[in-house]
Amino acid sequence: MSAQPSLAPLADTLGAIAVPARMRTTMLRRSLREHPGPTVAALVGLLAAAWLIRYALRGDQHTLGLLAGAWVLGWIVLPLLLGGGRGRVRPAHLRLEPIGGVPAAIGLLAASAIGIGPAVSLVALAALPVHAARHGTVAVLVTAGGAVLLWLFGLIGSAIALEVVGHAGGPAGALLTGVFTGTAMGVAGSLWAVFPWVSVLLVAAPQEVVRAMAYVPSGWPIAAVTGPTGRGVGMMAALVGIVALCAAAYLMLVRRVIAAGVPFRPRRTTAASLAAPDREWLGWVPAATRAVVGRELRAWMRHPLRLQYLAFAVVYGALLAGLPLLSDVDLLLPWAGPLAVLGAAAMSAGLVGLDGTALWLPLTTPGGERAEVRGRALAWLVLVTPIGVLLTVAGVLLAPDVDPLAALCTLPALLGAGASVPVWVSLLRVRPVADPRHPTAADNPTDIVSVLVATGSGLVAAAPVLALVIWGPSGVTPLLPLVGLLSGAAAWRGGIWLADERLTRRGLDVLAAAGQRSRPTETVLPPTWDAQWFRENKLTAWALGLLTVGWIPVIPQGVMPLAFGIGSGWIVAGHLSGGARTAVGLAMIGLGVAMLLAGLVLWDRRPQPGGSAHPASGQAE
């Protein structure tokens, strides 16, 4: 009789721990019943896990550890990008429950473990004990324990990331999204360099990878059973310590949320101090323009979509220049800065659409149009110039045998065009977001035409330098820096003049387009082949095809063999020499430019869902 009351607190605690798990189970059951997406994701994940287990049977242990680490990292990162926290039980849901911090953390982790992602990840990490089966039963048990620890690390890390990023507001999540998308696009743009390295890695990891895996926790479970016993015990103890530290961090996070409602208070002084418009180094700028510069710099530091675009451009440019090193090609390293600048210009070609009706301020201020245009351009220049210079210098230092003159001289030309022309383009083709106060990743204010025009302006500004590098006499080499500066100044002047004319003469039209709350209906592309759709939307199909394929003659068939001397089996000019090589390369560039221009014309003439064959009415033409 006396034992029964003593068990009551334990039963109450276990009941409180089970509440989040029951909530999560109900959410998951309804989600599976109402939406097919989780089921499809489960099938795809199981196929990937099955391939990983199959590779574990005969694959390299270091590569397997690298793949397991990539899986755990993806488990932590992908929910942030795909909205994985929407159906999750959060610590804030338990604020009114009579439950302590430790039971709440255990219950929330138990709820997080109920789902497709954790189940598929547990199956995938089973590849570690499968690989260790060749070393005996003890090895299987040790690596199974290590796999469970890695699974707990992914579970707790994902919970921490979702809670912290979720309360950090949009900027942190947007920054992470930009890094992820920039990485994906950078790898996709350098497949020719990545594929050979991946094939070598799958066969046997190079020595530099083997040395690096000694410091990666995902490789420790297998290394613990293949190396000395003392070292193996130390690795497993370190893995347990990492999981314990993550658990302690999550416990403190849950306690703080339950007590205060937020995990932390973000500091807000950094962006404000960075964007202060009255700094001495802007003393030569008129006061009205200086105020716009301060506002724009603050917007770049705080606005989620702007941060996402900037992170994407930096990562994308750096990977396009750096990933060819996997195939021992270092020619592009000095071009990391120019590529990042070109990407930042392309991603800035629709920023006016994020402002909404706030655009009435410069229109009602004497001289406000000129200050608005110059302030936006100058803020972009102040923000992007250090990034471009640092990436270029880093590329030059990492590739000392590559002549960096062309990259250094084209950088000012790209900066001049990238700072001014996107301002004009964003005023010319306004794509409003549904709610400028709460933008999401789906509110992309740019379109393919704006991106291509902004990118093309940078290439046109850099064309004089590139032409002199490729075909100019050797005596003009000392003049290349001056040509680059003059090209950048001319592009800056031209873009500023166009933007001034647009905002001054058609400011009310731009304001009306930016203030719309909803976009016109866009042409919906079919997810699968639909002959009827293609018959009814021939212009759209041809435009998309030309805009997609047109880059092949321009970049790999034209620019790469002419500017960098790169040739391979499928590059036509690479099989020729002398004048024939130059002629074929130029012809390929001309063909690609013609295809892209034709695609742009067809895209603007495509029939709209409302029956119009002109650009969407939400764009200020």
- Per-residue model confidence as pLDDT tens digits over 567-600: 666 678 777 777 778 788 888 888 887 887 787 7
Cβ proximity of 279 and 309 under 8 Å: no
Both 476 and 550 in one domain: the answer is: no
408 neighbors 335 (Cβ within 8 angstroms): no
Amino acid of residue 519: R
Domain boundary pick from 503, 523, 543 = 523
Q: For the segment 188-209, what is each residue's pLDDT rounded down to a tens digit?
A: 777 677 766 666 677 777 777 7
| SS3 (DSSP) at 611 | coil
427 and 367 in a common domain: yes
Same domain, 202 and 53: yes
Are 546 and 476 contained in the same domain? no
Task: For residue 409, give its domain range.
Answer: 272-523
Identify the pLDDT of residue 345: 93
Same structural domain for residues 89 and 118?
Answer: yes
Per the domain annotation, does 101 fall within a domain?
yes
Identity (one letter) of the amino acid at 85?
Answer: G
* Amino acid 244: pLDDT: 93
Is residue 156 pLDDT above 80, yes or no?
yes
Residue type, 103: P
Give the whole-angstrom CA distance, residue 328 versus residue 206. Answer: 14
**Any idea which of 160-169, 456-465, 562-571, 589-598 has the lowest mean pLDDT?**
160-169
Collapsed DSSP state (helix, strand, coil) of residue 338: helix
Of the three residues 213, 228, 260, the one that is the final residue of a domain is: 260
Q: Are residues 231 and 347 in the same domain?
A: no
Same domain for 541 and 516, yes or no, is no
Same domain, yes or no: 337 and 376: yes
* Distance in angstroms (rounded) separating the CA atoms of residues 318 and 340: 7
- How many Å apart are CA 237 and CA 613, to the nearest integer? 67
Do 181 and 234 lie in one domain? The reply is yes
89 compared with 506, residue with greater pLDDT: 506
The pLDDT of 517-546, averaged and rounded, is 65
pLDDT tens profile 15-64: 667 777 777 777 777 766 666 666 777 788 888 899 899 888 888 888 88
CB burial of 96-112 (b: ≥16 within 10 Å; e: otherwise) equals eeebebebbbbbbbbbb
Provide the angle, in degrees to the nearest 10, between the axes of the packed helices 336-347 and 368-398.
150
User: Which of these three, 483, 500, 523, is where a domain ends?
Assistant: 523
With a cut of 70, say whether residue 9 has pLDDT above it.
no
Are residues 104 and 22 both part of a single domain? yes
Number of domains in the chain: 3
Looking at the structure, do residues 235 and 92 belong to the same domain, yes or no? yes
Query: What's the rounded Cα separation, in Å, for the pair 99 and 96?
Result: 9
Per-residue pLDDT for 168 more than 60? no
Q: Could you tell me the pTM of the whole model?
A: 0.66
Interatomic CA distance for residues 42 and 49, integer angstroms: 10
Looking at the domain assignment, is residue 382 inside a domain?
A: yes
